[in-house]
Structure formats: C-alpha cells, structure tokens
C-alpha cells in the first residue's frame, strides 16, 4: 500500500521539487557572478543543484552557509566527506582546482522556511560574498 501511494504521488512531488530547484538555480546564477552550475541544466535529478564558485573554497562556503542556517555538502555525493576534488566533476571536465569550489544542494519533498528558493539563493550569495571578500 505504501509503495502504491508513493508511486501515485511521485510525479506531482517530483514536479514540485524540480520547480523549486530550477527557481533556486536561476536565483543563484543571477545573484552570484562566479557561480557555475555543474551537470546538465535540463536532464538532472529534480531536487539536486551543484555549483562551483570560482575564487572560493567549497569548504569555506559550506561553513559560511552552515553559520547562516543552510546545510549543504561539497562536491558530488560520491566524494562527500573528502577534501579531494570530486572525481565525478573532474571526469566531467571540471578542472580539479575549480571542482574543489563546488557545493551541492538537495531539496526534499517538504519545503521548509529556508527552502524558499529566493531566500536560499540570497543566503548563498551572501555566503559566497563573505568567503570571497567581494
């Protein structure tokens, strides 16, 4: 029964999460000049957005985001917890020194207050600015 309910809701949930993620991506790309989206801009998981922030340290951005109440991760899921550049991003053609600036955001099916895409994009812009000194 649970599987049937989950499958019945899957498309609607995926569409909602995807819409929030796309709005967040647009917000970050317009608010953070050094931001670059990693991965295909269209064919991606609906709740995942990964960016590189040239001129920063991904770990420093993570710490600044956490200080502001935003939990995210660096690199790809395969490299979580590692100080090394994501081998996935490097294999996709991202230079290792740029891959080390990457930060990944994941959105779930239940939006939280900070999950509002515009608010979150503003927090990301402020964190990157604080870390890069710009």
Query: Catalytic residue positions?
Result: 78
Polymer length of the chain: 134
CA distance 134 to 128: 8
Using alpha carbons, select from 127, 131, 115 the residue that is nearest to residue 47: 115
Of 15, 34, 37, nearest to 25 (Cα)? 37
At residue 35, φ and ψ (nearest 5 deg) are -80, 140
Whether the CB-CB separation of 133 and 61 falls below 8 Å is answered with: no
């Amino acid at each position: 029964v649970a599987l049937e309910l989950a499958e019945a809701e899957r498309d609607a949930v995926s569409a909602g999460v995807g819409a929030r993620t796309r709005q967040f991506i647009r917000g970050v790309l317009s608010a953070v000049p050094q931001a670059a989206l990693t991965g295909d801009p269209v064919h991606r998981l609906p709740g995942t957005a990964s960016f590189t922030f040239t001129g920063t340290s991904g770990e420093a951005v993570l710490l600044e985001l956490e200080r502001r109440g935003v939990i995210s991760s660096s690199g790809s899921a395969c490299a979580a917890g590692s100080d090394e550049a994501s081998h996935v991003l490097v294999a996709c053609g991202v230079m290792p020194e740029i891959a080390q600036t990457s930060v990944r955001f994941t959105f779930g099916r239940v939006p939280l207050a900070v999950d509002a895409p515009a608010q979150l994009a503003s927090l990301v812009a402020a964190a990157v600015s604080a870390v890069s000194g710009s």
